[in-house]
Structure 1
Amino acid sequence: MVDMDLVNRIVEKMKSENVRWIDIHFVDVPGRLQHVTFPARELLDDPESAFQIAIGGFDGSSITDFTMINESDMLLRPVPETFALIPDDWQSPPGVAAGRTARMIAQIFWGGYKKGEAPRFEKDPRYIAEKAEQYLAEQGYKAYFGPEVEFTIFDSLKVDVTQPWARMSVEINSREAPWNTELPIMRFKQGYFPANPNDKLFWIRQEISNVLEDYFDLQVEAHHHEVAGAGQGEIDFRFDTATRAADKVITLKYVVKNVAAKYGMVATFMPKPIYADNGNGMHTHQSLWDIKTDKNLFYDPNDEYAELSQLARYYIGGILKHARALSAIVNPTTSSYKRLVPGYEAPIYIAWSKGNRSAIIRVPSYMKGIEKAARIEYRSPDPSTNPYLAFAAMVAAGLDGIKKKIEPPDPVDENIYAMDPKKRRELEEIVKKQLGTKLQLPSSLCEALEELENDYEWLFPIFSKEMIETWLELKWEECRKIGAYPHPVEYYEYFDI
């Protein structure tokens, strides 16, 4: 049910701020942000209908992998909790009177039904995250997610692939880059936590954080420079439920890109924008809580290893067992697998540990004895994923582990990258025996898609078969298309062979 008290407050806010336009946001299946803008009067004249039925419609057949041309009419219902004013100083060029604008994220419904009877669109990514929360509630749980979203801001980026048979090029300009001649610079893999003036993008992250807090009511917990040299940053926000946390990821990406654009810069969330430096990840902290008692079900003060409950271990077991298939959703681009390689802190081994960052699941252990802090950190996801689908898939894998009581192997507390080969082979045998999977994550998107094709039943309580098939078809097309392009490095390596 819609909170009409909140709706009334939004109406008053729009009137007091002289809001003229409503920008409605949603994401397509891959996770790219889409928007359509309506006059504020469409909401102000009949707010009850706008929030309980729809504010307007659109052509679903023109959105990637939504629907066919013969069933294309769809409706947008704004979610009042996502209301925010857009800053005036980056919504339009200087001297252009664009009008005060507010933003809301929408739920998507099928068109062609009587007023108030339209069903939800099954492939709306936000709907799938909502279904994950509903499925959790049916089991007596609620889940919280706290993603650490990494990104890179360049001064400029030029890409030319308009003539792939004759010319392909990428030119990156960054004031921090090791190849920049203006000191100080950031050396490869040495960008973690440097103080000003070395951290040349402190001011832009600060403004992004201010906008997130002041305009979008998103509570920032920290921001900092990340390990990669050329403009890599991270902004962490307070944990939330699956749908709301995904809303926040989408909002953060929107704000980062627009604030960067305000200064003539460009932001990217692609997993591996620069060779020989760390990529952009989205380590995702998560925990399960009892929906009635509000107790953290991952916490066990009597567990000597990590104060982690047996239920949490089963949840870990589910993610580890399905990790190779899960990669096709949480690492959904060919760029993802250029990040998931040894030597750059991105985990590739299907293992868990109390503090070992070479395992895909880490149990943070900064301080003991705090129930609300008990959680796991799933380290392989990256920000190229659709967060609604990613969090929903994590829930499905974790709950499958709980349902089937999948016991994970013993934790691995040593650096798996540096492990003796014989010992690593022994670990691989243990993982294969207990979980029925390989020790290492897929090394390519194509390999991950093959895993998902053979291991997807655990998604069914939340994902429809149609959605899984749509995802596989979309990503197979990407994998084959990008894999067919000759790469400039191939000329360097093989031209004289």
Structure 2
Amino acid sequence: MTLKDSLEHSADRMGFEDAEFILIRYTDVPGRFLAKYIASDSGEYLRSGVAVDGSSVRGFAKIDESDLLLVPDKSTLRPAPISNYKVATVIADVHEGFGRGRLIRDPRHVSQLIEEHLAREGLSCQIGPEVECFVFDDIVFGGKSGPEILSAERAGKYHIRRKGGYDAPPFQDSLVELRFEVAEILKKNYLIKVTNLNHEVASSGQIEINFMHSTLTKAADNVQVYKDTVRNVAKKHGKIANFMPKPVFDESDPSSSESDNGSGMHVSTSLWDGASNIFYDASDGYAELSQTGRYFIGGILDHARSLAALVAPTVNSYHRMVPGFEAPIYAAWSRGNRSAVARVPVNDRNNVKSKRIEFRAPDPSANPYLAFSAIVAAGLDGMRKKIEPGDPVNEDIYKMPDHVRSSLGIRSLPGSLQESLEALKSDHDYLKPCFQGDLLETYVALKQEEIAYAGRSKERQFMLYYDV
């Protein structure tokens, strides 16, 4: 099959019949969006697949079983925004070589499995991620106190006070045009519709660009494309996009005044039976949330500690999850209460389409295919077992005395990656619909290596998670 034929069968040819190169993207187990390039006159690969050395990809294969194939999903074929050359880009599924089927460690396979599981139940899923990040002028390594972050918004002509960046006005917001450029590329090249793009709470150039919710695998694809686009636009402008959960922190005390808000990736989920949102119930006076929706929350809260290992998956994640910086640290639910880990937005009434459950623990270092799948699997387990989430908490949980939280049955989320991994080792049966074979063991082993390397060293965290 030629590139032209493939484009004719894709959703939109977009004028790229004469592309000179094809950029093939795929994701490793920790979540890096990798790239392989082939010449367009090798278009036959779009049908048969492109060879890849699985032993060189984190989490994929041992050296004695390393022959894998990248099989492009032609529905994702798009023109790549690479100047001076005509390049088509496509996202691939990973297969084992010699016709042995899908690689069970391929993160995209995990999200496809949970979607197949939902389909057998007559359901579909919509995911809306909100990905925050920083765009720095530079990061300088080698200093006595660790990496030095340079930002005109932190200490320069566009100075923004610590925790004072939310909806910063244009004269102070140094990244307005960068966000517009990202939004334009997402729309024109990738058909991803941006809904809002704003400066976030932290100083030092924290941004958030949101896009329309989508089906689970497509939403994960969109996160990978979005992160890649932000990084490349930042690079074009001589800046650095950083998706670490907490890059601005005091190594000795992450909650100190030297720290600023971290970056989250709040994930909104809704489940649908055909055209019916099964989380919506107009008769519920509290949040217009159905009993099914409550059971879904019950599953998330019941598995919150093990979920943390997949949605807050780095050593650096737990510098974000400390009191005082709007990050969730307690397993409770509410409507409109951002101190709870699960929130039911109530911006308006009688809006069936917008009824959703927001899980606030995830951060942008998570592999979106694994994180979104695990969230849905936990919620489905709650629905199957009819797990009640308990009463909603309608006050600031951060300010509650310990004995009050204890009396309400509010548990803390893990305080470290090691703690969350221990929870995952003892609580993972709910993941069986999508995490198959030795994927979880492989994942845990990779994370143990990260802990051994990074520990609490700020320098090592930046070296390990600089490109997360």
Indicate whether the TM-score tops 0.5.
yes
- Structure 1 counterpart of 2:252: none
- Structure 1 counterpart of 2:149: 172
Indicate the percent of aligned positions where both proteins have the same amino acid. 44
Q: Point out which structure has higher relative CO (alpha carbons under 8 A, 6+ apart).
A: 2
- Structure 2 counterpart of 1:434: none
1:83 to 77, 81, 100: 77
Offset of residue 138 of structure 1: 1.3
Structure 1 residues 200-239: aligned runs within 5 Å = 200-239=174-213
* Cα distance in 1 between the residues matched to 2:119 and 2:66: 32
* 1:34 correspondence with 2:34: yes
Deviation digits for residues 304-323 of structure 1, max 9, x if unmatched?
11000011101000000000
Offset of residue 83 of structure 1: 1.5
- Structure 2 counterpart of 1:378: 359
* Cα distance in 2 between the residues matched to 1:191 and 1:319: 31
8 Å CA contact 1:17–1:100 kept in 2: the answer is: no
- Structure 2 counterpart of 1:436: none
8 Å CA contact 1:133–1:142 kept in 2: the answer is: yes
Deviation digits for residues 385-421 of structure 1, max 9, x if unmatched?
0000001101110111011110111000100011234
| Secondary structure of the structure 1 residue equivalent to 2:229 | helix
* 1:330 correspondence with 2:324: no
**If the length of structure 2 is used for normalisation, what is the TM-score?**
0.92
Instruction: From the CA coordinates, give the structure whose radius of gyration is larger.
Output: 1
2:168 to 172, 194, 198: 194
Q: Let me know the Cα RMSD of the aligned residues.
A: 2.0
Q: Using a 3 Å threshold, how does the CA distance of structure 1 residues 416 and 83 change in structure 2: closer, same or farther?
A: same
Q: Using a 3 Å threshold, how does the CA distance of structure 1 residues 343 and 379 change in structure 2: closer, same or farther?
A: same
Structure 1 residues 249-328: aligned runs within 5 Å = 249-275=223-249, 276-290=259-273, 293-328=274-309
| Secondary structure of the structure 1 residue equivalent to 2:142 | strand
| Secondary structure of the structure 1 residue equivalent to 2:332 | strand
Q: Using a 3 Å threshold, how does the CA distance of structure 1 residues 12 and 466 change in structure 2: closer, same or farther?
A: closer
Structure 1 residues 77-476: aligned runs within 5 Å = 77-89=71-83, 99-113=85-99, 118-160=100-142, 169-177=146-154, 180-182=155-157, 184-275=158-249, 276-290=259-273, 293-427=274-408, 430-431=409-410, 439-476=411-448
Letter in 2 for 1:322: H
Q: Using a 3 Å threshold, how does the CA distance of structure 1 residues 374 and 80 change in structure 2: closer, same or farther?
A: same
Deviation digits for residues 270-312 of structure 1, max 9, x if unmatched?
000102210000000101100xx32000000001110000111
8 Å CA contact 1:325–1:451 kept in 2: the answer is: yes
Matched positions, count: 448
8 Å CA contact 1:86–1:101 kept in 2: the answer is: yes
- Structure 2 counterpart of 1:493: none
* 1:477 correspondence with 2:449: yes
* Cα distance in 2 between the residues matched to 1:248 and 1:487: 30
| Secondary structure of the structure 2 residue equivalent to 1:221 | strand
Q: Using a 3 Å threshold, how does the CA distance of structure 1 residues 421 and 10 change in structure 2: closer, same or farther?
A: closer
Structure 2's unaligned 5+ residue stretches are: 250-258, 461-468
Q: Using a 3 Å threshold, how does the CA distance of structure 1 residues 15 and 301 change in structure 2: closer, same or farther?
A: closer
Letter in 2 for 1:137: A
User: Which deviates more from structure 2 when the two are superposed, residues 363-372 or residues 473-482?
Assistant: 473-482
| Secondary structure of the structure 1 residue equivalent to 2:169 | coil
| Secondary structure of the structure 2 residue equivalent to 1:24 | strand
- Structure 1 counterpart of 2:63: 69
Offset of residue 222 of structure 1: 0.5
Deviation digits for residues 187-211 of structure 1, max 9, x if unmatched?
0001000111111111111111111
**If the length of structure 1 is used for normalisation, what is the TM-score?**
0.87
User: Which deviates more from structure 2 when the two are superposed, residues 378-387 or residues 134-143?
Assistant: 134-143
* Cα distance in 2 between the residues matched to 1:346 and 1:274: 14
| Secondary structure of the structure 1 residue equivalent to 2:398 | coil
* Cα distance in 2 between the residues matched to 1:325 and 1:357: 21
- Which segments of structure 1 move beyond 4 Å, counting only runs of 4 or more? 4-7, 9-12, 14-17, 484-488
Offset of residue 158 of structure 1: 1.9
